[in-house]
Amino acid sequence: MNKIKFTSQFLAVLSMAILLMCLSCSSEKSSNPVGSDISYQAAAKVNGQVLSSCKGSVNGINVSIVGTDLTAVTDAQGLFAFQRVPRGDQQLAFAQGDYRGSLVINDIKPSERITVQVHCASAAVTLESMAREASFEGQITAIDPGTQSITVERLDDPIVIESTTEFLGDIQVFEDLFVGLMVEGEAVETADMGWVATKIEAEYEEAEFKGAILTIDELNFAFTVAGFLDPIYVDENTVYEGELTGFADLQVAQLVKGEGVYKGFEYEKRFYATKVELETDDEEEEELGEFRAVIKPNSWNVNWQGSSGHFSVEIRGEGYADVDTALPITLQGDSGVALESLYAKRSGHHVRAYFAKNQAFTLLTEAVPGSSYEITITGTFLDGTTFTLTNTIYVVGPTAE
């Protein structure tokens, strides 16, 4: 009995000692502000060039980010690059022979792209130039009419909207913006105004509908469907498939299915169909079928490299319901680069994963308009096992002269 009591006391003391040691380690790690905010889920990119070195050559300089496992070696032009840089303050360390120097880049943002040019002549690396730009995406959380700026979730600093900002889609002027609106765009950091948007557009919420037509509003070109709360409007962008050729073909009691987006502002938001087709009796069997992946769209335009939009991958067929949407879907092409989805969700009879358009061509070694490429899609099931699928994409756009 005494032995058991002694053992319990001993384990309690030992547990307390281990807890104190863990707290001590945690305190030591948090005392280093540079490189301590490791958040690879919100990675940025840093491209750089060493213009001169006290050792003479700019080739073969080892560059690393302190506190991470990220390393690079400069080429003959002094160029180096990091693809997955954590957010926060990060310290770049340069080493060449017995030379050691460093440079701190402050407050790196998620999805930011930073380009630096430096001189390695002393322990304090001299900065020649630095350009910073970032993609932003999310809900507007605050608007300041006085400074003509907005704040978007996941990008803490205000984004100024000025005369040079390109408005896309339904957004035409600053007054079209409101708190809660989902937006996406590009911004650059300036010395006098902070972050300034170069372009901005509304990011629309997508939805699917499926059911019998209840009512048709011929005056407003809209209809309602059982099981879908909002009226469904059609416009010049609506695509009719199968036996349907236009709005006039729609009839009450028809079984239809389709997809669309919510457009508009505040209380004027409407749901517009992007696609409408008749639903057949064997639709359920046709939709399931073999387990497969479909890239949408499968035509990739070379101008996507400057776009802030998205493309998607749909996982369909038997087993789609077992896909773990909490884990990323990954794409890989012939370049060897693995591109992870921004997010994935289950919708209708498929899982849809979203990817940034401006990162699509990192998957290809060389994107030649008129050529096709096989893309490998990998993901994870709820039981932890993985799956691999393939789909083909086609590159379109102007060819090089």
Beta strand 232-233 with 270-278: parallel, antiparallel or unpaired? Answer: parallel
> Who contacts 285 (Cβ-Cβ below 8 Å, separation ≥6)?
none
Q: Is the domain of 274 the same as that of 297?
A: no
Cα 188 from Cα 134, distance rounded (Å): 6
* pLDDT at site 30: 33
* pLDDT at site 82: 93
* pLDDT at site 2: 36
Q: Is the domain of 361 the same as that of 380?
A: yes
Cα 273 from Cα 239, distance rounded (Å): 8
Q: Where does a domain end: 173, 202, 231?
A: 202
Is the backbone of residue 242 left (phi > 0), alpha (psi -120 to 50) or beta? Answer: left
Q: Is the domain of 210 the same as that of 186?
A: no
* pLDDT at site 265: 57
Sign of CA dihedral 158, 358, 306, 264: negative
Q: How many CA atoms lie within 13 A of 315 on its CB side?
A: 29
Q: Where does a domain end: 263, 279, 295?
A: 279
Q: Is the domain of 290 the same as that of 192?
A: no
**Residue 190 resides in a domain:** yes
Q: Write the single-letter amino acid at 345.
A: K
Per-residue 3-state assignment (H helix, E strand, C coil) for the chain: CHHHHHHHHHHHHHHHHHHHHHHHHHHHHHCCCCCCCCCHHHCEEEEEEEEEECCCCCCCCEEEECCCCCEEECCCCCEEEEEEECCEEEEEEEEECCEEEEEEEEEECCCEEEEEEEEECCCECEEEEEEEEEEEEEEEEEEECCCCEEEECCEEEEEECCCCCEEECCCCCHHHCCCCCEEEEEEEEECCCEEEEEEEEECCCEEEEEEEEEEEECCCCEEEECCCCCCEECCCCCEECCCCCCHHHCCCCCEEEEEEEEECCHHHCEEEEEEEEECCCCHHHHHCCCCEEEEECCEEEHHHHHCCCEEEEEEECCCHHHECCCCCCEEECCCCCEEECCEEEEECCEEEEEEEHHHHHHHCCCCCCCCEEEEEEEEEECCCCEEEEEEEEEEECCCCC
Q: Is the domain of 304 the same as that of 372?
A: yes
Q: Is the domain of 307 the same as that of 357?
A: yes
Q: Is the domain of 138 the same as that of 114?
A: no
Contact 329, 367 (CB under 8 A): no
* pLDDT at site 302: 78
Q: What is the CATH classification number for the domain harbouring 190?
A: 2.40.50.320
**Residue 26 resides in a domain:** no
Q: What is the CATH classification number for the domain harbouring 99?
A: 2.60.40.4130
Contact 36, 67 (CB under 8 A): yes
- Domain range holding 248? 206-279
* pLDDT at site 90: 93
Q: Is the domain of 330 the same as that of 291?
A: yes
**Residue 64 resides in a domain:** yes
* pLDDT at site 180: 74
Q: Is the domain of 369 the same as that of 291?
A: yes
Mean pLDDT per 10-residue run, the chain (401 residues)?
40 48 40 36 80 90 94 94 90 93 89 90 87 85 92 83 85 82 86 90 82 93 92 90 89 92 70 88 57 87 72 88 91 93 80 87 89 94 94 76 44
Q: What is the CATH classification number for the domain harbouring 363?
A: 2.60.40.10
Vertex 374: Cα angle to 368 and 379 (nearest 5): 135
Looking at the structure of the chain, the number of domains it has is 4
**Residue 260 resides in a domain:** yes
Contact 298, 203 (CB under 8 A): no
Q: Is the domain of 390 the same as that of 291?
A: yes
Q: Which of 325, 362, 343 is nearest to 138 (CA)?
A: 343
Q: Is the domain of 46 the same as that of 111?
A: yes
Residue the block writes with tokens 């061509």: 361
**Residue 32 resides in a domain:** no
Q: Is the domain of 329 the same as that of 391?
A: yes
**Residue 15 resides in a domain:** no
* pLDDT at site 33: 36
Q: Where does a domain end: 85, 105, 124?
A: 124
Using a 10 angstrom Cβ sphere, with 0-12 exposed, 13-18 middle and 19 or more buried, the burial of residue 305 is middle
**Residue 85 resides in a domain:** yes
Q: Which of 87, 93, 91 is nearest to 107 (CA)?
A: 87
Backbone torsions φ then ψ of 233, nearest 5 degrees: -95, 150
**Residue 300 resides in a domain:** yes
Sign of CA dihedral 383, 386, 387, 390: positive
